Chains A and B, each alone.
Chain A
Amino acid sequence: MKNKGIPAALLAVALGFVFFAFDPSTDGLFPKCPFLLLTGLKCPGCGSQRAVHCLLHLDFAQAFSYNALLVLSLPLIALLGYAEINRKKKPDFYRRIHRPAFILTYLAIVIVWTIARNLYDIHGSFI
């Protein structure tokens, strides 16, 4: 665990710097989503690069408009990440937050949101 932690932290810092310094919405440096290029449809992760750039500049409103799911998932990711790191030490806590109903709810939100954002793009509204 500790051996994996150091390169992961270095990668996170390096990526954090790149996403802080450059704006993916104006800079052509960043890769476009291959799923979007192939299908013309947005996947759950579209807008994440722009959203991360905004988050690093503490612009939560703009980040929310790029990828609302990402912003809303942040507390959840923090909680799950904490449970993951302490899985051996606190197995009860891990078990308590890994409820099937809880995960299925999140999965349903991801699916509904993915469909909704594509419908919105096609029609320009949710109607």
Chain B
Amino acid sequence: MEYYISKNNDKEGPFTLEELAAQHITPDTLIWTVGYKEWKPAKDIPELADIVFSTPPEPSQQPPMPKTWLVESILVTLFCCLPFGIVGIINAVKVDTLYYGGKYEESQYRSDQAKKWTLWGFFVCLGCGLIYLFFLFCAFLTGFYFF
């Protein structure tokens, strides 16, 4: 028995059953052999069952979710007293939404944006704190402690 395969609208073959095993047949690959009126998907042909199901499934192409910076954004919102954290949270939502929509590159871009805003919030806060400490220190040195 010899079989033909339909791949991308091209006919390939004929193949013996042994040769067919090397052709990476998936359950939906269309097969024809003498006696068939039309092409049939491989999963409907009992004598091909061994070949079809010995082909491993395609590995999942889903990459891991990019870092959302959500927890950092929440901390900046609660402790740094600046609206930067809110922007960080909004970007975190976008990272998620794009990721679940399968747009991995855009999701990664949003992740970078979230990182940027969150770090800005953090460093502005830190900078203000250091300037404040500096003035406090100067006030102590001059004896002008007014609290």
Whether chain B is bound by chain A comes out as yes
A87 / chain B contacts, CB cutoff of 8 Å: 64, 67
Knowing A31-B129, A34-B128 are in contact, say whether A98-B77 is a contact too (CB < 8 A): no
The closest CB in chain A to the CB of B67 belongs to A87
> Is A81 in contact with chain B by the CB < 8 A criterion?
yes
Contact of A110 among B71, B89, B147 (CB under 8 A): B89
Contact yes or no, B81 A35, CB < 8 A: yes
A36-B81, A46-B81, A48-B79 given; 17 more Cβ-contact pairs under 8 Å: A27-B147, A43-B83, A45-B79, A45-B81, A45-B82, A48-B81, A70-B78, A73-B78, A80-B74, A84-B67, A84-B71, A95-B65, A98-B95, A99-B96, A100-B97, A103-B93, A110-B77
Contact yes or no, B147 A29, CB < 8 A: yes
Cα of A73 to Cα of B96 in the assembled complex, Å: 20
For window 30-64 of A, CB contacts with B under 8 Å fall at 31, 33-36, 43-46, 48
B82 to chain A, nearest CB (A): 7
> Is B138 in contact with chain A by the CB < 8 A criterion?
no
For window 77-123 of B, CB contacts with A under 8 Å fall at 77-83, 85-86, 89-90, 92-93, 95-97, 99-100
Contact of A29 among B71, B99, B136 (CB under 8 A): B136
> Is A124 in contact with chain B by the CB < 8 A criterion?
no
B39 to chain A, nearest CB (A): 40
Which B residues fall within an 8 A CB radius of A?
A: 64-65, 67-68, 70-71, 74-75, 77-83, 85-86, 89-90, 92-93, 95-97, 99-100, 128-129, 132, 136, 147
Contact yes or no, A107 B78, CB < 8 A: no
A99 / chain B contacts, CB cutoff of 8 Å: 96
B81 / chain A contacts, CB cutoff of 8 Å: 33-36, 43, 45-46, 48
Q: Which applies to chain A's interface (DSSP): helix, strand, loop or mixed? A: helix
A91 to chain B, nearest CB (A): 4
Contact yes or no, A106 B89, CB < 8 A: yes
A77 / chain B contacts, CB cutoff of 8 Å: 71, 74-75
Contact yes or no, B132 A31, CB < 8 A: yes
Cα of A111 to Cα of B77 in the assembled complex, Å: 11
Contact yes or no, A44 B147, CB < 8 A: no
